Amino acid sequence: MTLRIEDYGLIGDMHTAALVGIDGSIDWLCLPRFDSSACFAHLLGTEENGRWRIAPAGNVVAATRRYRPSTLVLETDFETADGVVRIIDCMALRESHPRIVRVVEGVRGTVPMSVRLNPRFDYGKTAPWVIAKDQVVSAGAGPDAVELRADVPITLRERRLEAEFSVRAGERACFVLTWYLSWEDAPPPIDAVDAVAQLGVATADHSVRDQRRPLGREPGVQGDRVSGALKPATVETGLVVQVPLFVNQGDKIKVRVEDAAEKAAPTVRELSAKAAELVAVAADRAAPIAKQAGEATAGASSKLAVRSREWAAEIREQVASNGGGAATATATEPRTATDIARDVAEDNPPL
C-alpha cells in the first residue's frame, strides 16, 4: 500500500533524489538524473513497479525520523518488541556514479531485519536480468544496470532479491546500491560509513567557508522550522541541505533587498540617462531627412496641380477649335491623371 506523501523523506545528491517512506521503503528513484526514468516507482503503482525496503521483520511499535543537522542524511528509528534499530539513508557525494547508501544500526536489543529489493527499470515496465553472488548482486536491462553490495548474503527468490538477518546493539549492516551503464564495468566499491561521514564533513567545511549564509539557523533561535516546511538549498560541496526558514529571517531578507536596490539605483539612473541621450541623437539625425521628404512631397503635389490645369486648358482649347463639338480624332489624345502623375514622377526622382 502506497504511503501518504507526507510520510516520505527526501535524499539526494544534486543530480537525482529518492523518496524514503516511514516504513523503510524507497518507493521513488530516477537514475542517473532527475529526468531519467524511474527504477523504483512503487509510489505510482505496486511493488512490481520497483521498490527497496529495509525494515524490521516483526511488528513495528513506533517509528520516528529526523535529518542530521544541515544535511539530507535521513535517520529512521524503528521500535519493536525485540529492541530498537536505526536505518541511515543518504546518497553519497557524486564523483562519477549515483549511489544510494543505507546503514542499519542496532540501538537496543536484537532486532530481526528483512530486505526486499525489486529493481524495475523504465517505471516498472522492464524486469532486469539478475546475477546474485553472496553479498554482491547485479541487475540490468537495456542501458541501465545497478549493483548492490551488502554486508549480508543476498538471495534471488521469485524475481526479487531478499535478505534476512539480525542486528544487535552496536552492530552495523551496510548496503550500497550503485547505478552504471550496462556495457561498462561496475565502478569500484565505496565504504558506506565513510560516505555518510563525508556528508557531515563537507557540510561543516562549507559552513566555515561560506560567510554569506543566506537562510539558516542563527545563534539563539529556538525551534526547528516554521509550519513544518523545510526549504532545500544547495552548497558548493554538492550537497542538498534542508534549511529551516525562521520567522525572524524576514527582516534580514527585507534589509538585503533594500541594500541591493540602493546599490543598483546609480546604475539604473546612468542607463536611463544614456538611453535618453541616444533617443535625442536619433531624433536630431532623423529631422533633416523628414524635412527633405516633406519638401519633395509638397513639390510633387504642386507640379501635379499645374499639369492638371494645363491639361484642362488643352481640352477646352481643343473643344473650342472644333466649334464646341467633340475633339477630332486627329487632335492630341487627352491624357489621363495617371499620365500626368508619371510625368511628375520623372521630374521628381526619389531622394
How many CB atoms neighbour CB 160 within 10 A? Answer: 15
pLDDT of residue 338: 67
Q: 297-319 in b/e burial notation, b at 16+ Cβ within 10 A?
A: eeeeeebbeebeeebeeeeeeee
**In this predicted model, what pLDDT tens digit does every residue of 92-132 receive, in sequence order?**
999 889 999 999 999 999 999 999 999 999 999 898 999 88
The sign of the torsion formed by the CA atoms of 191, 192, 195, 201 equals: negative
Tell me how far apart the alpha carbons of residues 77 and 111 are, in angstroms, rounded to a whole number: 12
CATH number for the 5-247 domain, one of 3.40.50, 1.10.15, 1.20.1740, 2.70.98?
2.70.98
170 against 132, higher pLDDT: 170
Percent of the chain past pLDDT 90, that is, above it, reads 49
Q: What angle do CA 131, 133, 135 make, to 5 degrees?
A: 120
Range with the largest mean pLDDT of 1-5, 170-174, 300-304:
170-174
pLDDT of residue 316: 80
**In this predicted model, what pLDDT tens digit does every residue of 52-82 receive, in sequence order?**
999 999 999 999 999 999 899 999 999 999 9
Q: Taking 60 as the threshold, does the pLDDT of residue 237 lie above it?
A: no
Q: Taking 80 as the threshold, does the pLDDT of residue 167 lie above it?
A: yes
Range with the largest mean pLDDT of 10-24, 248-262, 299-313:
10-24
pLDDT of residue 344: 57
Q: Taking 90 as the threshold, does the pLDDT of residue 141 lie above it?
A: yes
Q: Taking 90 as the threshold, does the pLDDT of residue 299 lie above it?
A: no
Q: Taking 70 as the threshold, does the pLDDT of residue 1 lie above it?
A: no
Q: Taking 60 as the threshold, does the pLDDT of residue 245 lie above it?
A: no
Cis ω on the peptide bond leading into residue 32 (within 30° of 0)?
Answer: yes
Min mean pLDDT across 4-18, 148-162, 185-199, 322-336 is at: 322-336
Grid cell of 308 as nine digits: 492638371
pLDDT of residue 262: 77
pLDDT of residue 219: 37
pTM above 0.75, yes or no: no
Average confidence score pLDDT of the chain:
80
Q: Taking 90 as the threshold, does the pLDDT of residue 189 lie above it?
A: yes
- What band does 257 get if pLDDT is binned at 50, 70 and 90? low
Please measure the distance between the N-terminal and C-terminal CA atoms of the chain and give it in whole angstroms.
Answer: 82
